[in-house]
């Protein structure tokens, strides 16, 4: 293996990539502009939609309002509710989204209020429908206020102390440092983004340097050069790895800048974030070598895309599992590629550094990367693969 020849191939591929408009768009434009715009644009649109629902006054219905005139009056006088006349088809109206919710008051409500029996007020709603759930929230607020008022009146009538029902209050005090709080809130998203970007950043370049060159008929030219196959593979591999890491760097820079400008950047452990980059680096090597292998096996660019699509799903699945609540790093998950890096990164972003797990996962990922690189070299040395038709 001659490093001079490797870097000659690398420089050649780098120049070609910088001249290719598609590579520049996929490596720089989309990560730096499109992805942050989509993410923050979607967040802004969701927040605006949520605010519009919050500002809407939902229409509700009181079934049996005559049984509790004071309760009905409390609902009608609340500015965040609009009470409409009672009707028998309230369930159909709620299902059709013409009515947001309905409250049913039992016929013996007044009797239950004056006895020691528990009365039951039922709220009909459309489960999962956001505007209906908002109406339920507002109705619960009004009903809770009316119930508290009734309790206070009974306590006053019995000459009991005001803290008779609520003898003590509860307050919450956070004891975790800011970086642990921030890491716990976005700890799963950071490695998920890094892993996804490492893979997608290498996709186009890996396919273009292998299947793309086959399709253009330039693969034979570079193979006829006085450079060993191993050096050609390493040069192309370094180019794919560069594209992968460049995509990660550009995207994270754009996201961080946008988050800081908008004031949405959480406090994270700086050492933990750097450690995550260190853990993701061998994974980027693994992805680059794997995609290079798939690309050289394919006959053309379209076939390479067909092979890479299911691989993307296999990468996203374990990374997404790491986002699930309650899924934490243990001995069993340490053996699962991608998932182990995701779970370990969640810990490190929060400022936790399990050294034994870090060493094991880093070494195992390096082994996976080495094996993938050897497979890529083997595929390049097979004439029946290089010249598949």
Shared domain check, 194 and 110: no
Q: What is the pLDDT of residues 9-57, one digit of tens each?
A: 888 888 888 787 777 777 777 777 776 776 667 767 777 877 887 888 9
Position 93 pLDDT exceeds 90: yes
SS3 content of the chain, % helix, strand, coil (to 5): 70, 5, 25
pLDDT of residue 35: 66
Q: Provide the residue range defining the domain that includes 131.
A: 55-157
Q: What is the mean pLDDT of residues 83-88?
A: 91
Position 303 pLDDT exceeds 90: no
Q: What is the mean pLDDT of residues 210-220?
A: 81
Position 346 pLDDT exceeds 70: yes
pLDDT confidence tier of residue 99, bands split at 50, 70 and 90: very high
pLDDT of residue 95: 94
Number of domains observed in the structure of the chain? 2
- Residue 369 resides in a domain: yes
DSSP strands (E only) in the chain: 59-63, 82-84, 101-104, 122-125
Q: Which residue has the higher pLDDT, 307 or 34?
A: 307
For the chain, percent of residues with pLDDT exceeding 90: 16
Shared domain check, 261 and 189: yes
pLDDT of residue 101: 94
The model's pTM: 0.70
Phi/psi at 208 (nearest 5 deg)?
A: -70, -35
- Residue 168 resides in a domain: no
Q: How far apart are CA 285 and CA 95, in angstroms?
A: 53
Q: What is the pLDDT of residues 273-288, one digit of tens each?
A: 778 888 888 888 889 9
Quick one: which of 361, 359, 357, 300 has its CA closest to 336? 361
Q: What is the mean pLDDT of residues 186-190?
A: 70
Q: How far apart are CA 153 and CA 149, in angstroms?
A: 6
pLDDT of residue 388: 63
Identify the CATH number of the domain in which residue 66 sits. Answer: 3.40.190.10
Helix pair angle (339-349, 301-321), 10° resolution: 50
Among candidate residues 157, 188, 223, the one where a domain is terminated = 157
């Amino acid at each position: 293996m001659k490093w001079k020849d490797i870097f000659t191939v690398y420089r050649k591929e780098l120049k070609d990539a910088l001249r290719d408009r598609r590579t520049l768009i996929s490596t720089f434009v989309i990560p730096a502009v499109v992805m942050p715009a989509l993410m923050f644009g979607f967040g802004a649109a969701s927040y605006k939609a949520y605010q519009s629902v919050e500002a809407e006054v939902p229409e509700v219905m009181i079934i049996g309002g005559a049984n509790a005139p004071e309760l009905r009056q409390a609902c009608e006088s609340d500015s965040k509710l609009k009470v409409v006349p009672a009707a028998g088809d309230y369930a159909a109206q709620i299902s059709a989204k013409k009515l947001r919710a309905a409250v049913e008051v039992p016929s013996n409500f007044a009797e239950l209020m004056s006895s020691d029996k528990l009365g039951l007020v039922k709220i009909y709603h459309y489960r999962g429908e956001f505007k209906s759930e908002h109406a339920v929230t507002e109705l619960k607020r009004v009903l809770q206020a009316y119930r508290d008022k009734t309790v206070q009146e009974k306590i006053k009538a019995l000459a009991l102390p005001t803290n008779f029902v609520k003898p003590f209050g509860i307050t919450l005090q956070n004891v975790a440092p800011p970086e642990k709080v921030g890491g716990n809130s976005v700890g799963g998203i950071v490695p998920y983004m890094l892993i996804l970007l490492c893979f997608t950043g290498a996709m186009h370049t890996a396919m273009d340097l292998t299947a793309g060159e086959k399709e253009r008929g330039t693969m034979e030219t570079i193979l006829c050069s006085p450079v060993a196959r191993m050096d050609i593979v390493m040069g192309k591999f370094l180019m794919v790895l560069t594209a992968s890491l460049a995509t990660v760097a550009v995207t994270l820079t754009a996201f961080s800048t946008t988050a800081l400008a908008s004031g949405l950047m959480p406090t994270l452990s700086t050492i933990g974030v750097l450690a995550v980059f260190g853990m993701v680096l061998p994974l980027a090597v693994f992805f680059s070598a794997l995609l290079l292998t798939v690309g050289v096996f394919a006959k053309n660019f379209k076939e390479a895309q067909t092979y890479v699509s299911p691989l993307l799903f296999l990468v996203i699945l374990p990374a997404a599992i790491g986002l699930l609540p309650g899924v934490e790093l243990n001995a069993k998950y340490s053996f699962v590629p991608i998932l182990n890096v995701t779970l370990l990164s969640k810990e490190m972003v929060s400022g936790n550094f399990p050294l034994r797990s870090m060493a094991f996962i880093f070494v195992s990922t390096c082994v996976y990367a080495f094996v993938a690189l050897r497979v890529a070299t083997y595929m390049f040395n097979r004439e029946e693969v290089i010249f598949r038709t």
